[in-house]
Amino acid sequence: MRVSRIACVLICITLSPLSWGAANALDPLVKALAQVDDPAVQRDLLKGMHLALADRPSVSMPAGWHEVYEKLGKSSDPVVRQESTSLALIFGDRQAVEATHRLLADSGANPADRRAALESLLQTHDPQLVPLLSGLLSDRAMAGAALRALAAYADQTTPAVILKHYSELSSADKRDAIMTLSARPESALALLDAVQKGDMAKQDLTAFNVRQLVNLNSKPVDEKLKSVWGAVHGTSQDKLALLDQYKKKFTPEVLAKANLSHGRAVFSNACGICHTLFDSGGQVGPNLTGSQRANLDYVLGKVLDPSAVVSPNYRMAVIRTRDGRVINGIVYQETDSAVTLKAPNETIVVQKDEIDKRKLSDISMMPEGLLAAMSDADSRDLLAYLASPSQVPAEGSSAQAK
C-alpha cells in the first residue's frame, strides 16, 4: 500500500476535532497503520494522530489497535515505538501503561526515553504515578522532571517527600521543587515552615515564587509569607520613602565597590528565572538587556513598585484547577479544549474542563520586597550588575580569578 506522507499528516491534523469523539473516527487510520510498513509513513501517521489528540487525556480505543500496537512495538524506529506508546496510553491500553511504568522506574534506561515516558503518562493523568514520582527524587537524571510532574497531583505526602530530598537536589532541581511546593496552599505552608526553621535558605525563593504564593489567595499563607519574606504590598508613601532610602544607601561610590560577578549570581537566582540579561535567563518576563539599567532611579522604581506599569504582553494568567492547584504563567496557546501556559520552569497544558477559576492579573509577576529580602551586599552587587554595560565573568570562574 502506497501512502503519501504529507497526505497522512494532513488527514490527521485537519479532521474536525468533534469527529474524534466518535467511536470509529480513528479506525481508518489504525487500519492504514496495519497495512503500512514504511517507518517514515508510520511516523507521520502516528505524529499526526498524536498532534490531533494532544489536548485529550483519553480517547476510546479504536478497532484493531492491539494488533497494530504489537506490530509497531517491534519497529526498529525509536520514534515509531515512542509515538505508538504515547497513543496507546491515551487509548487506555493497560499493556502500554505497565510497560511505560517499568521504563520510567528503570534507572539503567536512557534518561531521554524515561522523560518522554513520563510526559506521556502525565498527558493521560495516570492516577498511579505519584508513588513512582516520589521514588525518582533521589535519581539525579529524573529528579527535575519528577518534581515538575508532582505539581499536577493533589497528594498529601508530596510536601514531606520533597522537603526530605531538598538538601540533596541540584540548584535547578531546587527551583523545580519550590515551584511545585508553591502551587497549593497546603504545600506552600510546608515550604514556608522550612524557610522559617532554616531547613531552606530564604534566598532560594525567587520573586516569581513569592508572587505564586500571593496568588494562592490563602490567608494562612499570606500571614506566614509576611513573617518569612516581609511585606509584599506597600503604600505609595512607603515606596517613595524606600526609594529615597535606597538612593542614599547605594551611592555611585558604594556601587563602584560592588562585586559584579557576585551580582550576576544574585541576578541568576533572584531574577534570571524570568528575565533575560546578556542572552542568559528566562523568557517569561521582559528582556532587560536593552532597558534603562544604568539609571538607578529607573531600576529602583521597577523593583520597588513593579506593578506600576505592566506590559500587556507580560500580564500573568492565574488558573486554579478543580483539585486546588494554582498555576501562574503567560498564555502561550489556547484551543477549544486546553490552555497552554509558559511558566519559568516548564510549559503547562491545562484542560479547560479541569479549570475552576481563571483570571488575567493586573499586577506584575514580580512582588514588592525583593531588595528587602536581600542583604545590603547582595542588593549592592545586584544593582551594580544590572547597570553593567556588558557581561561579566561568572562567580568562581577562571576569568574572574585573573
Residue with cell 502551587: 183
List phi, psi (to 5°) of 342: -100, 110
Q: What is the mean pLDDT of residues 16-40?
A: 73
Per-residue pLDDT tens for 42-81? 988 888 888 777 767 778 888 889 899 989 988 999 889 8
More confident residue, 295 or 14: 295
pLDDT of residue 306: 74
pLDDT of residue 308: 63
Query: What structural domains does the chain harbor?
Result: 1-92 (no CATH), 236-310+366-401 (1.10.760), 317-360 (2.30.30.100)
Q: Give the lowest-confidence range in 16-20, 92-96, 246-250.
A: 16-20
Q: How far is CA 129 from CA 81, 109, 134, 188, 241, in A?
A: 21, 18, 9, 22, 51
What pLDDT, in 10s, does the model give residues 266-303? 988 888 888 888 878 877 777 787 767 778 887 887 77
Q: Which tops the pLDDT comparison, 314 or 395?
A: 395
pLDDT band at 2 (very low <50, low <70, confident <90, very high): very low
Q: Which residue has the higher pLDDT, 86 or 298?
A: 86
Which run of H or of E encompasses 80?
Answer: helix 78-90
SS3 (DSSP) at 19: helix
Q: How confident is the model at residue 165 (pLDDT cuts 50, 70, 90)?
A: very high
Dihedrals φ, ψ of 256, to 5°?
A: -65, -20
Residue 150 reports pLDDT greater than 90? yes
Model confidence at 176: pLDDT above 50 = yes
Residue 4 pLDDT grade (very low, low, confident, very high; cuts 50, 70, 90) = low
pLDDT at 14 over 50: no
Considering only CA atoms, which of 38, 32, 268 is closest in space to residue 172?
268
Considering the chain, what percentage of its residues have pLDDT values greater than 70? 89
Contact criterion met (CB below 8 Å) for 76 and 45: no
| pLDDT category of residue 259 using cuts at 50, 70 and 90 | very high
Q: How far apart are CA 3 and CA 9, in angstroms?
A: 11
Q: Which of 7-16, 64-73, 244-253 has the lowest mean pLDDT?
A: 7-16
Q: Name the least confident of 137-141, 205-209, 301-305, 322-326.
A: 301-305
**66 vs 336: CA distance, rounded Å:** 30
pLDDT of residue 401: 43
Query: In this structure, are strands 338-342 and 347-351 parallel, antiparallel, or unpaired?
Result: antiparallel
C-alpha cell at 92: 487506555
pLDDT band at 262 (very low <50, low <70, confident <90, very high): very high
Q: How confident is the model at residue 107 (pLDDT cuts 50, 70, 90)?
A: very high
Contact (CB, 8 A) for 9 and 48: yes
Mean per-residue pLDDT over the chain, rounded? 84
Lowest mean pLDDT among 23-32, 147-156, 208-217, 222-231: 23-32
Residues in the chain: 402
Q: What is the mean pLDDT of residues 260-267?
A: 92
Confidence of residue 232 (pLDDT cuts 50, 70, 90): low
- The mean pLDDT of 220-243, rounded to a whole number, is 78
C-alpha cell at 46: 502516528
- Exposed / middle / buried, residue 4 (Cβ in 10 Å: 0-12, 13-18, 19+): exposed
For 248-279, b where at least 16 C-beta lie within 10 A, e where not — what string? eebeeeebeebbbbbbbbbbbbbbbbbbbbee
In this prediction, residue 6 carries a pLDDT of 52
pLDDT tens, residue by residue, 183-227: 999 999 999 999 999 999 988 888 788 889 989 999 999 999 988
Stronger pLDDT, 52 or 113, i.e. the higher one: 113
The set of long-range contacts for 202-205, using a CB threshold of 8 Å and a minimum separation of 24, is: 202/228, 202/229, 202/373, 203/269, 203/270, 203/373, 203/374, 203/378, 204/174, 204/178, 204/269, 205/178, 205/229, 205/373
Predicted confidence band at 1 (pLDDT cuts at 50, 70, 90)?
very low
